[in-house]
Amino acid sequence: MSKSNGLAFLRKNRAIGYKLKYWYYFIFKRQRLQKKKCFGNLNKDKIIYIIKPDSEDSVEGLLSLLARSSLYIRYAQDHGYEACVDWKNYKTQYSSGTDNAWDYFFKQPSDISLDEAYKSKRVFLSGWTYNDINPNSAYDLKQFLDRRINEECHEILRNSIQFSDEVLCITEKEGKRIDISNCLGLYVRGTDYVKLKPSGEYIQPNVEMVIEKVEEFLIKYPGINIYLVTEDGEIYKRLVSKFGKLIVLVSFDSFIYEYSGETYLSKSNVLNENKIKRGIDYLVKMILLSQCKYLISSITMGSMFSYGLNSNRYEDEYIFNLGLYP
């Protein structure tokens, strides 16, 4: 069986894939398993659940980190634990070494502060457990195919995530300026997704495929603008050349034109050096994508987030389901 066929099998047989991954972590990477800890004598009558990134590779994107964190928050809520998210003491691409990066984007899920959590008596550090905390495949291809699973994604986000005041303020301002509720949302990934073709990730459509689909929507729904979300400058130029002033953007948008394709974007030198601004800008754009009237999108963790946040309210949509990179 080829690697791509193996990945496809594990995606279709998620329960098997989860157990295999758990036992791999149990044998080789036990730091990724859930652990029970005692850090002090505070909160003797509570169980504190500290949520950390599963991986500290500095590659995982904001909404991929969020997806896993939201599942851990739901897990904590279901067990009656007090959850606290730690993106300070564990490495992400948004880490500063001094601040808890989570707090720039989201509010904490409980009143327990990070400092208090690490002085508490009964503590769990999040991680993989023998039983899957995501048995219905939220944040997966199935989300786009089954309205019930997408509704579950929405409930997870609604009950576990509160955006920071700054994120909400920028989102409201930009949404009014663009008139986002009357737009066709268009989400297109390029750069590292296209040039590196990461094995096991979803294949992205080319620009010609995107243009053809947008033209179909413009015929069906004349008079709408196209709210574009892409990081790739060449894709942006092609679409503006084709659709002109119908393309609308957030006021702070920027694009990448000089990407070499040698490594992932998060490890390249083409991104905004202000990691927090970069994350907030991206989060705002993806929240706005969830507020559009129609949607055309490829499949990434970002589009899974927006699709879940929308909760089956797009009046019409098209998702490019092109399989996986081998």
Q: Which two tokens stand for residue 190?
A: 């390029």
Q: Which two tokens stand for residue 126?
A: 């999040």
Q: What is the pLDDT of residue 15?
A: 80
Q: What is the pLDDT of residue 77?
A: 96
Q: Token pair 């080829």 is at which residue? A: 2
Q: What is the pLDDT of residue 9?
A: 63
Q: Which two tokens stand for residue 11?
A: 């995606």
Is the distance from CB of 203 to CB of 269 less than 8 angstroms?
Answer: no
Question: Distance between CA atoms of 294 and 224, rounded to whole angstroms?
Answer: 10
Q: Who's near 99: CB < 8 A, 6+ residues apart?
A: 88
Question: Distance between CA atoms of 156 and 138, rounded to whole angstroms?
Answer: 9
Q: Which two tokens stand for residue 21?
A: 């991954």
**Series of mean pLDDT values for 10-residue runs along the chain (326 residues):** 55 80 92 95 97 82 94 97 95 86 96 96 96 90 94 96 98 98 94 69 92 98 97 94 98 84 57 83 98 97 96 97 87
Q: Count CB atoms within 10 A of the CB of residue 71.
A: 19
Surface-to-core class of residue 132, CB atoms within 10 Å of its CB (0-12 exposed, 13-18 middle, 19+ buried): middle
Q: What is the pLDDT of residue 256?
A: 85
In the chain, the domains with their CATH numbers are 3-125 (no CATH), 165-319 (3.40.50.11350)
Surface-to-core class of residue 268, CB atoms within 10 Å of its CB (0-12 exposed, 13-18 middle, 19+ buried): middle
Give the Å distances, CA to CA, from 178 to 86, 96, 235, 288, 290.
34, 32, 20, 10, 14
Element (H, E) at 185: strand 183-187
Q: What is the pLDDT of residue 193?
A: 64
Q: Which of 166, 45, 39 is nearest to 114 (CA)?
A: 39
Q: Which of 62, 49, 3, 53 is nearest to 286 (CA)?
A: 62
Alpha-carbon dihedral angle through residues 202, 204, 210, 213, given to the nearest 10 degrees: -20
Residue 256's SS3 state is strand
Q: What is the pLDDT of residue 196?
A: 64
What are 136-142's contacts with CB under 8 Å, separation 24+?
A: 137/14, 138/67, 138/71, 138/308, 139/67, 139/71, 139/301, 139/304, 139/305, 139/308, 140/11, 140/14, 140/304, 141/11, 141/202, 141/299, 141/321
Helices (H) and strands (E) in the chain, counts: 13, 9
Bridge-based pairing of strands 35-37 and 123-125 is: antiparallel
Q: What is the pLDDT of residue 270?
A: 56
Q: How many CA atoms lie within 13 A of 226 on its CB side?
A: 26
Q: How many CA atoms lie within 13 A of 27 on its CB side?
A: 5
Q: What is the pLDDT of residue 8?
A: 58
